[in-house]
Amino acid sequence: MIEKGSVIGIIGGGQLGRMTAEASAKLGYKTHIYCPDPDSPAFQVSDLHTIASYEDRDSLEKFADSVDVITFEFENIPFDTLKFLEEHANVRPNPKALHITQNRVREKSFVNDIGIKTADFAAVTSLSELEEGYKKIGEGKAIIKTCELGYDGKGQARIENASQIKEIWEGSDFSNAVIEKFVPFEKEVSAIVARGEDGKSLCFPVAENMHKDGILDTSKVPANISKELEEKAKEIATKMADEMDLIGLLAVEFFVTKEGELLVNEMAPRPHNSGHWSMDGCETSQFEQFVRAVCGLEFGPVGITNKVEMKNLIGFDVEKSQEFIGDKQAKLHIYGKKETRKGRKMGHINFIK
Ligand code: ADP
Ligand code: MG
């Protein structure tokens, strides 16, 4: 167990790091954020920060020596950086979990290998593999996605028919990609599970998610799905966390098919945008649960205290947030990012229903 007063090291300084730092402070921990971006929003609410690159071994070593445990808030940290840090401090979740989730082919293969379904997919590194893969998944509507560094729908292209393949290949770098069958889903849901050092786990209520242009727009809790499906989603998320021996949080995004089947879309070994509702609608927020898991504390309860619809403030939407400042049912969370940019997550509002 990490004693209160200890320092939690967080790699990455975005909004997830910021909200994790706030939850850490609430439980009596200090935080040290490591991020190359001098304008990181998490710096504003943390005790210590280091501005350095993920390859800077001297800074990484100093950082590791200054903290009691290390975690991370985003996935694109070089695997070697985490392996290096692990030599100097306890890293939770373990780097192996990050390694799996950093790459879409590894991630989907892992999921299938433990007997859980995804959309049909094929790995792509060349035009001929793209053509073959497209045939293998049965042609028709498909999506090609870069294996690494994609987020918020970036690094993706849709394929309607075979005649577009060459143009799509030439239009973007898909030399390390995955082609997957388009799923005409009924809805999208996500399950977030917390798992501790002792292997015990606890799932948050499942959220129902709506995306716009590949970016999460709203999450609703409770999700409008059957009790059986809710339990099934939690079971899958728990199994995945167990298989990775993960300590921390695992968020799993699913498609619910028209036949009522769950297909895993992707996962993240950290707090997740679709769990932000929990800050105002759950007995324990996902950020607090994350800190509890990483520090070896008992989990907080996860009962729903309010029905919530979380709405992301994307880009210049954040300017409209002022309209809600006097609204008791609208809980504002602004991330303090220096620059507003189109498509950038700037904050969210939890609307209490
Ligand atoms: P990101 O890492 O950008 O979130 P995702 O794979 O989750 O990437 O894709 C973003 C969104 O695009 C999904 O939430 C879903 O709405 C849509 N999408 C992605 N893959 C598929 C698919 N195979 N079929 C249908 N819609 C998809
Ligand atoms: Mg996604």
pLDDT tens profile 50-96: 999 999 999 999 999 999 999 999 989 999 999 999 999 999 999 99
241, 327: one domain: yes
Tell me, yes or no, whether 107 lies in a domain.
Answer: no
173, 215: one domain: no
Query: pLDDT (tens digit, 9 = 90+) per residue, 17-62?
Result: 999 999 999 999 999 999 999 999 999 999 999 999 999 999 999 9
157, 27: one domain: no
Whether 179 lines ligand 1, by a CB cut-off of 6 Å, is: no
Tell me, yes or no, whether 97 lies in a domain.
Answer: no
198, 330: one domain: yes
Query: pLDDT (tens digit, 9 = 90+) per residue, 262-303?
Result: 999 999 999 999 999 999 999 999 999 999 999 999 999 999
Which CATH number do you get for residue 31? Answer: 3.40.50.20
159, 223: one domain: no
Tokens representing 112 are: 């299938």
Q: Are 147 and 103 in contact (CB under 8 A)?
A: yes
Closest atom of ligand 1 relative to the 185 alpha carbon? 25
Q: Identify which of 209, 265, 344 to mutate to test ligand 1's pocket (most ligand atoms within 8 A of the CB).
A: 265
Tell me, yes or no, whether 242 lies in a domain.
Answer: yes
Tell me, yes or no, whether 209 lies in a domain.
Answer: yes
Q: Is the pLDDT of residue 117 over 90?
A: yes
Q: Which of 132, 159, 181 is the last residue of a domain?
A: 181
Q: Return the H-helix or E-strand segment holding 265.
A: strand 262-268
Q: Are 178 and 162 in contact (CB under 8 A)?
A: no
Whether 265 lines ligand 1, by a CB cut-off of 6 Å, is: yes
Query: pLDDT (tens digit, 9 = 90+) per residue, 179-224?
Result: 999 999 999 999 999 999 999 999 999 999 999 989 999 999 999 9
- Give me ligand 1 centre to Cα 187, in Å: 12
Tell me, yes or no, whether 348 lies in a domain.
Answer: yes
Distances (CA, A) of 173 to 111, 167, 180, 204: 26, 12, 17, 37
pLDDT at 184 (0 to 100): 97
Whether 217 lines ligand 1, by a CB cut-off of 6 Å, is: no
The pLDDT of 315-332, averaged and rounded, is: 95
213, 343: one domain: yes
- If you search the block for the tokens 């898909």, which residue do you land on? 174
Which ligand has the minimum distance to the alpha carbon of residue 150?
Answer: 1
Q: Is the pLDDT of residue 335 over 90?
A: yes
pLDDT at 112 (0 to 100): 98
329, 204: one domain: yes
Closest atom of ligand 1 relative to the 104 alpha carbon? 6
Tokens representing 326 are: 């006097």
344, 256: one domain: yes
- Give me ligand 2 centre to Cα 266, in Å: 6
327, 346: one domain: yes
Distances (CA, A) of 272 to 14, 57, 140, 336: 12, 29, 31, 18
pLDDT at 103 (0 to 100): 96
Tokens representing 190 are: 């996500």
In this structure, the strands spanning 156-159 and 215-221 are unpaired
Tell me, yes or no, whether 61 lies in a domain.
Answer: yes
pLDDT at 16 (0 to 100): 98
Spatial distance between the Cα atoms of 346 and 298, rounded to a whole number of angstroms: 32
Q: Is the pLDDT of residue 132 over 90?
A: yes
| Secondary structure letter of residue 282 according to DSSP | B
201, 334: one domain: yes
Class of residue 131 by CB neighbours under 10 A (exposed 0-12, middle 13-18, buried 19+): middle
Q: How confident is the model at residue 152 (pLDDT cuts 50, 70, 90)?
A: confident
Mean pLDDT over all residues of the chain?
97
The whole domain housing 210 covers 187-352
- Give me ligand 2 centre to Cα 48, in Å: 31
Q: How many structural domains is the chain composed of? A: 3
Tell me, yes or no, whether 309 lies in a domain.
Answer: yes
Closest atom of ligand 1 relative to the 209 alpha carbon? 14
Q: Are 283 and 303 in contact (CB under 8 A)?
A: yes
Q: Quick one: what percent of the chain has pLDDT higher than 70?
A: 100
Whether 186 lines ligand 1, by a CB cut-off of 6 Å, is: no
In this structure, the strands spanning 69-72 and 7-11 are parallel
The torsion angles phi and psi of 266, rounded to 5 degrees, stand at -155, 175
Q: What is the pTM assigned to this prediction?
A: 0.97
Tokens representing 200 are: 């015990």
- Give me ligand 1 centre to Cα 348, in Å: 20
Spatial distance between the Cα atoms of 52 and 71, rounded to a whole number of angstroms: 17
Nearest CA to ligand 1 atom 8: 153
| Residues belonging to the chain | 353
The pLDDT of 99-103, averaged and rounded, is: 96
The pLDDT of 128-144, averaged and rounded, is: 96
- Give me ligand 2 centre to Cα 253, in Å: 7
Spatial distance between the Cα atoms of 347 and 353, rounded to a whole number of angstroms: 19
Q: Which of 138, 160, 181 is the last residue of a domain?
A: 181
Residue 286's SS3 state is helix
Q: Are 253 and 265 in contact (CB under 8 A)?
A: yes
Q: Is the pLDDT of residue 329 over 90?
A: yes
Which CATH number do you get for residue 294? Answer: 3.30.470.20
Which CATH number do you get for residue 177? Answer: 3.30.1490.20
140, 67: one domain: no
Tokens representing 21 are: 């730092």
- Give me ligand 1 centre to Cα 321, in Å: 27
Q: Identify which of 29, 32, 30 has the alpha carbon closest to the alpha carbon of residue 10.
A: 32
pLDDT at 318 (0 to 100): 96
Q: Is the pLDDT of residue 153 over 90?
A: no
Q: Which of 112, 146, 181 is the last residue of a domain?
A: 181
Q: Return the H-helix or E-strand segment holding 107.
A: helix 104-113
Q: DSSP string covering 32-61, please?
A: EEE-S-TT-GGGGG-SEEE---TT-HHHHH
80, 128: one domain: no
